[in-house]
């Protein structure tokens, strides 16, 4: 097919050939036989059907989007680089989106259910292969009660239309096919007219909620083009589906067919049967029916208690607690009833624990223990909840133990949040932020928070689905499983938490912080949650990597999840979403560092923070240059950092910045192996001279007037290396000067003259200066400790340096695991205090 005429036709042709060639190379490299599908794409590239895609490739080339091109050009490809077919699919999705408006309002053709079911199979196959979903223009969920909507038939649906004020009453037919965050199915109405349906973020128990041949309502349906390109009814918001179990009273006559004939006792027996088979959802439905059938007295208590147990298993903790408390007889005269009350209190307490309502859990347990003081389960849970209360109140955690327990099977931690040192406030020009509620000292805990939802790549629920968002019209890495997990969890979360999460910032504000329960369901706007996650989720390390901090060294600061424009489609392996810590704003001159332990974030102070001061951490590593930093913050979070450091760097010329970056790169390499090279007598003086020259060169790239009051962190690695060299050569005074200078460059005054009262007194921020804390400071302080030990009068000071090193290490790592390596090195160096290196 001939392509559209374009002005740069020739250039495009050349590019097309290039990409077609690269595609062939790509296939060869991967030793993959071109599947017919890929072959078709290659042909389409050749024939020019993918002009838009070509432009994007060319843009990617210019932009050095190494991921795409590495894959195309034969460089080692990164594990998650997108495959060409996926990129082309995205392109198709984009084209489809563009043509959607032209289809708006078109009449839908009537379809036989056999045709729809046959197509469904095909859709499922392609969906499973491609694992790719598109997000349309966001639209809000239905907030109107079912009673107020007008029931329409499938034949009344028109394409690309949100049928506001209307609802379908339809029957589910055929299989339900779950593919990652999308569940495919088919429906038909009373006329026998049928249509495919795509349900996103479906309840994990959807198959039980809507078994085949079940009638249900779909509020305000949306008929559109589905993932496969065929016409579908698309359901994005779980609350838009109303099963007949949840019908309002006025409509409940629809549901009262078979259920009216069974007694409450019979329903309870049915429920128990399902419970034994671990079919909790069905068990719950049966117990609900028992309640509706009029269970009374002891039977009512039994059913409520059983229902609580089932809801605990289903993760519906609020309901579980309500039902557990409804099962309390308060009849202490009957030992049997008393024992059952103990059980019910335990279920209430377990639900409170899962809801993280620690004080409430403790109160539930006190009631349990009043009835049965030696109850094992009760005593054990009391111990756990008391530990949580202590964490919440005092911020005392056993971090080394928590780290030790982490594994792939158990990547989540059982801890309470510690948030009382921070307050939510408004941050000038940046919306809301977190502020210190009290003075916080360097190295101390600011905040500990367990993620609302965290997903780990190896878990079966974490899909590799790629999400294509038509709005930014660019490839966007997005953690689909985290999105789905959050939408699903919010359905069963207390409204207060829903509100807290809903008022986080996202591009599309949806329902805002309004929380609504309509027709028995919590209304959650899935698009709003999508955008909140895009702006607020974090990539987190796997437990194995977290444990790597046990080795001496600092884990690199992790970029929050979201679109990293240089890594298109790079979906972070493990992601987490925090409701409170998400409020911390960015600064290139932060006063806090974050660390992750499993699914918990630990924030520590890297400066002394005064009460009322805003807590800030770096979303983007400050060590990136200003251009990179601003590009990232603008693309992912939509703001441009205007801190003093960005200001100063922006005033520098490209030439100066380039010179510095080159010197920093060299310094980093040299610093890494300078000490190793020192053993080589032939190399020694040469290497040291090289380092000294580099130090001078680096120093020369900073205009001191421009950097007045600002840290010059690029100098630290080479300074730390040189300090270590001078120490080893026994050049004490040069060593001390270098250490003091290095701290000075980072905005600190380090006193190496006489021991202070406390170690912390020896390190203070320079008046009017911004300070930086970085990993090399630990090494510098260890060197200071070494060199001070040389003279008897400085022994105390030496130990104080070691103490300071420990404080900085913990401020950066949150845990002291790994510091023992520094200790061991220092202890060993006592014997070989000054190496005769000259």
Query: Cβ contacts of residue 824 below 8 Å, gap of 6+?
Result: none
Stretch that binds Zn ion, among 79-87, 265-273, 551-559, 635-643 (CB under 5 A): 635-643
Which CB, 176 or 641, lies closer to Zn ion? 641
Residue 257: is it exposed, middle or buried by C-beta count within 10 angstroms (0-12/13-18/19+)? exposed
Cβ 641 to Zn ion shortest distance, Å: 3
Lay out the site mask for Zn ion across 532-571 (x = CB under 5 A, - = otherwise): ----------------------------------------
DSSP-derived letter for residue 436 is E
Contact 570/564 with Cβ under 8 angstroms? yes
Cβ 589 to Zn ion shortest distance, Å: 7
- Where b means 16+ CB within 10 Å and e means fewer, 183-193 reads bbbbbbbeeeb
Contact 152/167 with Cβ under 8 angstroms? yes
Query: Cβ contacts of residue 821 below 8 Å, gap of 6+?
Result: 551, 552
Among 88, 232, 308, 643, binds Zn ion (CB under 5 A): 643
- C-alpha span between 813 and 554 (Å, rounded): 6
Cβ 467 to Zn ion shortest distance, Å: 29
If phi > 0 it is left, if psi is from -120 to 50 it is alpha, else beta; for residue 619 that is: alpha
Other Cβ atoms within 10 Å of 665 Cβ, number: 10
Would you count residue 663 as binding Zn ion (CB under 5 A)? Answer: no
Stretch that binds Zn ion, among 294-302, 376-384, 639-647, 651-659 (CB under 5 A): 639-647
Which CB, 646 or 721, lies closer to Zn ion? 646
Three-state DSSP at 149 gives coil
- C-alpha span between 575 and 49 (Å, rounded): 37
Cβ 646 to Zn ion shortest distance, Å: 3
Contact 468/93 with Cβ under 8 angstroms? yes
If phi > 0 it is left, if psi is from -120 to 50 it is alpha, else beta; for residue 165 that is: left
Cβ 554 to Zn ion shortest distance, Å: 21
E strand residue ranges, 228-380: 231-235, 241-243
Which CB, 199 or 641, lies closer to Zn ion? 641
Contact 659/701 with Cβ under 8 angstroms? yes
Q: Looking only at residues 581 through 600 of this chain, which bind Zn ion when binding is defined by CB under 5 A?
A: 588
Stretch that binds Zn ion, among 398-406, 436-444, 454-462, 634-642 (CB under 5 A): 634-642
Cβ 747 to Zn ion shortest distance, Å: 15
Cβ 570 to Zn ion shortest distance, Å: 24
* Structure-token pair, residue 51: 């002009």
Contact 557/594 with Cβ under 8 angstroms? yes
Which CB, 93 or 626, lies closer to Zn ion? 626
Stretch that binds Zn ion, among 575-583, 594-602, 643-651, 800-808 (CB under 5 A): 643-651
Stretch that binds Zn ion, among 77-85, 404-412, 580-588, 590-598 (CB under 5 A): 580-588
Cβ 562 to Zn ion shortest distance, Å: 18
Cβ 438 to Zn ion shortest distance, Å: 27
Q: Please measure the distance between the N-terminal and C-terminal CA atoms of the chain and give it in whole angstroms.
A: 76
- Count, residues near Zn ion per rule CB under 5 A: 4
Cβ 642 to Zn ion shortest distance, Å: 7
Cβ 274 to Zn ion shortest distance, Å: 58
Which CB, 678 or 710, lies closer to Zn ion? 710
**Strands of the 538-539 sheet, one edge to the other:** 453-455, 575-577, 538-539
Contact 510/544 with Cβ under 8 angstroms? no
Among 209, 270, 646, 663, binds Zn ion (CB under 5 A): 646
Three-state DSSP at 161 gives strand
Which CB, 12 or 656, lies closer to Zn ion? 656
Would you count residue 641 as binding Zn ion (CB under 5 A)? Answer: yes
Which CB, 82 or 714, lies closer to Zn ion? 714
Sequence-distant contacts of 810-813: CB under 8 A, at least 24 apart: 810/443, 810/604, 811/442, 811/443, 811/593, 811/604, 811/605, 811/606, 811/773, 812/554, 812/593, 812/595, 812/604, 812/606, 812/773, 812/774, 812/775, 812/778, 813/549, 813/554, 813/555, 813/595
Which CB, 23 or 588, lies closer to Zn ion? 588
Stretch that binds Zn ion, among 360-368, 375-383, 436-444, 640-648 (CB under 5 A): 640-648
Which CB, 9 or 640, lies closer to Zn ion? 640
* Structure-token pair, residue 754: 């006489």
Which CB, 94 or 770, lies closer to Zn ion? 770
Stretch that binds Zn ion, among 213-221, 260-268, 358-366, 642-650 (CB under 5 A): 642-650
Which CB, 592 or 738, lies closer to Zn ion? 592
Measured torsion, CA atoms of residues 222, 224, 228, 232, in degrees rounded to the nearest 10 = 50
Which CB, 632 or 729, lies closer to Zn ion? 632
* Structure-token pair, residue 560: 């929050």
Contact 290/261 with Cβ under 8 angstroms? no
Three-state DSSP at 215 gives strand
Cβ 628 to Zn ion shortest distance, Å: 11
Stretch that binds Zn ion, among 508-516, 570-578, 641-649, 818-826 (CB under 5 A): 641-649
DSSP-derived letter for residue 582 is G
Cβ 557 to Zn ion shortest distance, Å: 15
Lay out the site mask for Zn ion across 173-202 (x = CB under 5 A, - = otherwise): ------------------------------
Which CB, 583 or 643, lies closer to Zn ion? 643
Would you count residue 774 as binding Zn ion (CB under 5 A)? Answer: no
Which CB, 307 or 641, lies closer to Zn ion? 641
Query: Is the CA virtual torsion 670, 671, 673, 678 positive or negative?
Result: positive
Would you count residue 694 as binding Zn ion (CB under 5 A)? Answer: no
Would you count residue 713 as binding Zn ion (CB under 5 A)? Answer: no
Three-state DSSP at 176 gives strand
* Structure-token pair, residue 525: 């706007």
Three-state DSSP at 211 gives coil
Q: Looking only at residues 435 through 464 of this chain, which bind Zn ion when binding is defined by CB under 5 A?
A: none
Three-state DSSP at 270 gives helix
Cβ 630 to Zn ion shortest distance, Å: 8
Which CB, 494 or 625, lies closer to Zn ion? 625
Which CB, 300 or 646, lies closer to Zn ion? 646
Stretch that binds Zn ion, among 156-164, 244-252, 266-274, 645-653 (CB under 5 A): 645-653
Element (H, E) at 227: none
If phi > 0 it is left, if psi is from -120 to 50 it is alpha, else beta; for residue 48 that is: left
Would you count residue 324 as binding Zn ion (CB under 5 A)? Answer: no
Which CB, 712 or 736, lies closer to Zn ion? 712
Smallest Cα–Cα separation from 311: which of 303, 298, 323? 323
Cβ 710 to Zn ion shortest distance, Å: 11
Which CB, 641 or 777, lies closer to Zn ion? 641
- C-alpha span between 162 and 471 (Å, rounded): 18
Lay out the site mask for Zn ion across 733-772 (x = CB under 5 A, - = otherwise): ----------------------------------------
What does the binding site for Zn ion look like in residue numbers (CB under 5 A)? 588, 641, 643, 646
């Amino acid at each position: 097919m001939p392509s559209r005429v374009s002005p740069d036709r020739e250039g495009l042709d050349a590019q097309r050939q290039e990409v077609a060639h690269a595609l062939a190379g790509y296939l060869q490299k991967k030793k993959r036989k071109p599947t017919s599908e890929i072959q078709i794409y290659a042909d389409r590239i050749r024939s020019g059907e993918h002009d838009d895609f070509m432009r994007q490739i060319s843009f990617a080339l210019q932009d050095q989007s190494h991921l795409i091109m590495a894959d195309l050009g034969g460089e080692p490809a990164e594990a998650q680089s997108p495959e060409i077919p996926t990129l082309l699919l995205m392109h198709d999705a984009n084209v489809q989106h563009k043509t959607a408006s032209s289809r708006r309002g078109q009449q839908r053709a009537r379809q036989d259910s056999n045709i729809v079911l046959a197509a469904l199979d095909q859709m499922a196959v392609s969906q499973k292969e491609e694992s790719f979903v598109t997000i349309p223009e966001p639209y809000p969920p239905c907030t109107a009660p079912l009673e107020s909507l007008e029931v329409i038939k499938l034949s009344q649906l028109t394409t690309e239309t949100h049928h506001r004020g209307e609802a379908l009453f339809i029957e589910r037919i055929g299989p339900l096919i779950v593919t990652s965050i999308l569940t495919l199915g088919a429906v038909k109405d009373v006329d026998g007219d049928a249509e495919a349906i795509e349900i996103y973020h479906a309840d994990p128990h959807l198959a039980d909620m809507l078994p085949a041949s079940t009638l249900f309502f779909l509020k305000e349906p949306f008929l559109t083009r589905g993932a496969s390109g065929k016409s579908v009814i698309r359901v994005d918001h779980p609350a838009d589906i109303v099963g007949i179990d949840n019908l309002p009273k006025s409509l409940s006559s629809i549901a009262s067919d078979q259920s009216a004939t069974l007694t409450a006792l019979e329903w309870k027996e049915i429920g128990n049967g399902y419970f034994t088979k671990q079919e909790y959802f069905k068990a719950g439905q049966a117990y609900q029916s028992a309640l509706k059938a009029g269970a009374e007295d002891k039977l009512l208590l039994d059913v409520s208690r059983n229902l609580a147990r089932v809801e605990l298993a289903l993760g519906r903790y609020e309901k579980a607690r309500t039902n557990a408390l409804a099962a309390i007889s308060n009849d202490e005269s009957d030992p049997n009833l008393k024992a059952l009350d103990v059980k019910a209190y335990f279920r209430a307490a377990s639900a409170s624990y899962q809801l993280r309502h620690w004080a409430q859990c403790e109160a539930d347990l006190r009631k349990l223990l009043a009835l049965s003081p030696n109850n094992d389960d009760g005593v054990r849970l009391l111990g756990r909840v008391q530990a949580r209360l202590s964490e919440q109140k005092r911020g005392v955690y056993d971090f080394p133990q928590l780290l030790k327990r982490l594994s792939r099977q158990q990547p989540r931690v059982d801890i309470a949040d510690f948030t009382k040192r921070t307050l939510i406030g408004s941050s000038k020009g940046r919306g809301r932020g977190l502020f210190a509620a009290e003075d916080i000292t360097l190295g101390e805990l600011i905040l500990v928070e367990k993620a609302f939802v965290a997903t780990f790549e190896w878990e079966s629920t974490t899909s590799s689905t790629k999400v294509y968002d038509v709005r930014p019209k660019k490839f966007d890495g997005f953690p689909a499983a985290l999105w789905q997990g959050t939408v699903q969890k919010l359905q069963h979360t207390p409204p207060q938490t829903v509100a807290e999460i809903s008022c986080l910032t996202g591009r599309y504000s949806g329902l805002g912080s309004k929380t609504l329960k309509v027709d028995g369901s919590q209304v959650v706007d899935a698009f709003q949650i999508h955008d909140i996650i895009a702006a607020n989720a974090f990539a987190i390390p796997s437990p194995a990597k977290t444990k790597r901090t046990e080795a001496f060294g600092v884990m690199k600061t992790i970029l929050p999840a979201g679109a990293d424009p240089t890594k298109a489609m790079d979906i972070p392996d493990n992601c987490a979403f925090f409701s409170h810590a998400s409020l911390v704003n960015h600064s290139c001159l932060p006063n806090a560092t974050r660390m992750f332990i499993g699914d918990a974030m630990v924030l520590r102070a890297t400066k002394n923070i005064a009460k009322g001061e805003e807590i800030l951490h770096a979303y983007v590593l400050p060590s990136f240059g200003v251009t990179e930093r601003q590009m990232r913050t603008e693309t992912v979070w939509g703001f441009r950092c205007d801190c003093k450091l960005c200001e100063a760097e922006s005033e520098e010329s490209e030439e100066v910045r380039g010179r510095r970056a080159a010197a920093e790169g060299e310094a980093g390499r040299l610093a890494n192996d300078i000490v190793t090279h020192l053993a080589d007598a032939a190399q020694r003086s040469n290497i040291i001279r090289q380092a000294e020259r580099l130090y001078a060169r680096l120093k020369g790239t900073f205009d001191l007037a421009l950097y007045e009051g600002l840290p010059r962190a690029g100098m630290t690695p080479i300074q730390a290396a040189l300090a270590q060299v001078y120490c080893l050569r026994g050049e004490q005074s040069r060593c001390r000067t270098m250490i003091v200078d290095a701290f000075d460059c980072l905005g600190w005054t380090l006193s190496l003259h006489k021991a202070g009262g406390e170690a912390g007194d020896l390190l203070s921020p320079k008046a009017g200066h911004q300070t930086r804390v970085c990993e090399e400071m630990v090494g510098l302080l260890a060197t200071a400790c070494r060199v001070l030990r040389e003279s008897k009068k400085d022994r105390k000071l030496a130990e104080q340096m070691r103490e300071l090193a420990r404080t900085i290490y913990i401020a950066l790592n949150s845990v002291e695991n790994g510091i023992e390596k520094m200790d061991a090195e220092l202890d060993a160096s006592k014997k070989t205090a000054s190496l005769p290196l000259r």
